[in-house]
Chains A and B, each alone.
Chain A
Amino acid sequence: MKQFFEGSHAVAETIRLCKPGVISAYPITPQTHIVEDLAKIVADGRLNSQFVNVESEHSAASVVLGGVAAGVRSYTATSSQGLLLMAEVIFNIAGMRLPLVLTCANRSVSAPINIWNDQQDSVSLRDAGWIQLYAENIQEAVDFHIIGYRIAEDKSMMLPVMVCMDGFILTHGIETVDMPTQEQVDKFLPPYKALYKLDVDDPVTLGALVDPESYMETRFAIHKTHEEALSLIPKIAADFSKSFGRTYNGLIEKYRLDDADRVIVAMGSVCGTIKDVIDELRSKGKKVGLLKVTSYRPFPAAAICDALKDVSKVAVLEKALSLGALMPLATEIKSAFFGRKKSPKVISSFVAGLGGRDITKQSVKDVFRLLTAKELDGEFIDLKPELLKENYE
Chain B
Amino acid sequence: MKEIRIHARAGQGAITTATLLGKAYFHKGSYPYAFPHFGAARMGAPMNAFVRVDTKPVRLRSQIYQPDFLIIVDATLMRGFNCFSGLKDKGIAIINGGQNLELPKVGAQQKVYVMPANEIAMKNIGRPLGNTALLGGFCAATGELELDGLFEAIKARFSGKAQEANIASAKEGFEFVKSKIKKS
Contact = CB atoms under 8 A, between A and B. Distances in A.
Interface string A336-369: 0000000000000000000000111101000000
Given A4-B22, A4-B23, A29-B41, A172 B61 contact: no
Contact of A273 (B19, B31, B41, B59): B59
A6 B22 CA distance: 11
B32 A175 contact: yes
A276 interface: yes
Contacts of A270: 61
A168 B62 contact: no
A361 B62 contact: yes
Given A4-B32, A115-B41, A361 B60 contact: yes
A115 B39 CA distance: 10
Interface string B30-69: 0111111110010000000000000001111111010000
B65 A360 contact: yes
A276 B52 CA distance: 14
A169 B61 contact: yes
Contacts of B23: 4
A359 B41 contact: no
A110 interface: no
Contact of B33 (A175, A358, A359): A175
Interface in A256-292: 269-270, 272-273, 275-276
A272 B59 contact: yes
A169 B35 contact: yes
A335 B62 CA distance: 31
B33 A173 contact: yes
A175 B57 contact: yes
Contacts of B32: 4, 174-176
A173 B34 contact: yes
A103 interface: no
A137 interface: yes
A47 B34 CA distance: 28
B159 to A, nearest CB: 16
B26 interface: yes
Nearest to B37: A168
Contacts of B18: 174
Chain A interface SS verdict (over half) = mixed
Contacts of B38: 115, 168
Contact of B57 (A166, A172, A176, A269): A176
Interface in B1-47: 15, 18-19, 22-23, 26, 31-38, 41
Contacts of A358: 62-63
A276 B57 CA distance: 11
Contacts, number: 65
Interface in A118-166: 137, 166
B85 to A, nearest CB: 14
A272 B26 contact: no
A67 to B, nearest CB: 32
Nearest to B34: A174
Q: Among A166, A173, A174, find the residue whose CB has the most chain B CB atoms closer than 10 A.
A: A174
B37 to A, nearest CB: 8
B99 to A, nearest CB: 34
A230 B19 CA distance: 39
A246 B89 CA distance: 40
B62 A359 contact: yes
A276 B35 contact: no
Contacts of A272: 58-61
B59 A176 contact: no
Contact of B62 (A115, A174, A175, A360): A360
A172 B60 CA distance: 15
A174 B59 contact: no
Nearest to B57: A176
Contacts of A115: 38, 41
B41 A276 contact: no
A174 B57 contact: no
A275 B59 contact: yes
Q: Which are the 9 A-B pairs with shortest beta-carbon distances? A: A272-B59, A4-B26, A173-B35, A174-B34, A360-B62, A175-B33, A276-B60, A269-B61, A273-B61
6 contacts: A4-B22, A29-B41, A169-B35, A174-B35, A175-B57, A276-B60
Interface of B: 15, 18-19, 22-23, 26, 31-38, 41, 57-63, 65
Given A115-B38, A272-B59, A276-B59, 11 more contacts: A4-B32, A115-B41, A168-B38, A174-B19, A175-B22, A176-B57, A272-B58, A358-B63, A360-B62, A360-B65, A361-B60
